Amino acid sequence: MKLSKPLRIIRNLLLFFFISTTVTVVVYSFMPVYVTPLMIIRSVQQVFKGESPAWHHEWVPFDKLSPHLPMAVIASEDNRFATHNGFDFIEIQKAMKENEKRKRKRGASTISQQTAKNVFLWPQSSWIRKGFEVYFTWMIEMFWSKKRIMTVYLNSIEMGKGIYGAQAAARYKFHTTAAKLTAGQCALIAATLPNPIRFDSAHPSSYILKRQGQILRLMKLVPKFPPEEPTGSKKKRNNKTFSCEEIRIFIHLQ
């Protein structure tokens, strides 16, 4: 059966979307991510405010990052990062219960979701963006290792005004390199991630110092990342599929 012209256009657009996004995700599984939509958006916002665009970013591989930094962000942002499939349904259910009584709703985005948003999407929340976020989260969980997701996350996330990634944060906040960040400095960075423009890890408020202490304590409790594997063992990919109930819970939270 021959498709009408509008249906052919829709089909071709969908094919282009799926092929182009798959290729991009695969390429980013080994190629550094030098530019993200957020970096461009922030620069444009600065221009409209009459400011000179500030954009500090330097990609570094995982072995050039302080081993304390992944532990700090896992302790602060996503305790079950190493074991979930991109969506932490335990945390989502907790957030749903808490949001029944809270005026200010809290989310339950994982590091995988934040990475998908940072690398492929825009910051403003909407149902459309959430839908794309689910898609890209599923894609990177399928094609990238957890170590790769963490590497991209720590290299792309906003860590201050015009500061993106661990290397830039280390240089401009603590006058050192990402590899030499101490546990305390990593905990300070992690404490500011919910709002890195408002909170400054280099000049922490009493609230951030309190969060730093909490994160340092949690860093001793969460499993080591990346987990050490026995020599000669082959990594098994977790191909767990999501149940209808898990999908319903995730959608309900958004």
pLDDT higher than 70, residue 231: no
Q: Provide the pLDDT for residue 105.
A: 64
Q: How much of the chain exceeds pLDDT 90, in percent?
A: 71
Q: State the Cα–Cα distance between residues 15 and 146, nearest whole angstrom.
A: 28
Q: Look over the chain and give the mean of its residue pLDDT values, rounded to a whole number.
A: 88
Q: Provide the pLDDT for residue 244.
A: 39
Q: Provide the pLDDT for residue 124.
A: 87
Pairing, β 56-57 against β 158-160? unpaired
Q: How much of the chain exceeds pLDDT 70, in percent?
A: 86
pTM of the model: 0.86
Q: How does pLDDT run across 93-119, given as a tens digit for each residue?
A: 887 777 667 666 666 789 999 999 999
pLDDT higher than 80, residue 229: no
Q: Provide the pLDDT for residue 184.
A: 97
Q: DSSP states of the chain as a string?
A: -PPPHHHHHHHHHHHHHHHHHHHHHHHHTTS-----HHHHHHHHHHHHTTPPP--EE----GGGS-THHHHHHHHHH-TTTTTSSS--HHHHHHHHHHHTT-SS------HHHHHHHHHHS-SS--HHHHHHHHHHHHHHHHHS-HHHHHHHHHHHSEEETTEESHHHHHHHHHSS-GGG--HHHHHHHHHHTTSTTT--SSS--HHHHHHHHHHHHHHTTSPPSSPP--TTPPPPP--PPPPHHHHHHHHHH-
Q: Provide the pLDDT for residue 169.
A: 97
Of the ranges 19-28, 101-110, 241-250, the best mean pLDDT one: 19-28
Q: State the Cα–Cα distance between residues 130 and 25, nearest whole angstrom.
A: 18
Q: How does pLDDT run across 199-208, given as a tens digit for each residue?
A: 999 999 999 9
pLDDT higher than 50, residue 165: yes
User: Can you tell me the mean pLDDT for 37-63?
Assistant: 93
Q: Provide the pLDDT for residue 64.
A: 97
Cα angle for residues 102, 116, 15 (degrees, 5° grid): 125
Q: In the block, which residue shows the tokens 């995730």?
A: 250
Q: How does pLDDT run across 121-160, given as a tens digit for each residue?
A: 998 888 999 999 999 999 999 999 999 999 999 999 999 9
Q: Provide the pLDDT for residue 89.
A: 86
CB 96 within 8 A of CB 249: yes
Q: In the block, which residue shows the tokens 């006058």?
A: 175
User: Can you tell me the mean pLDDT for 14-21?
Assistant: 95
Question: Where is pLDDT greater, at 192 or 54?
Answer: 192
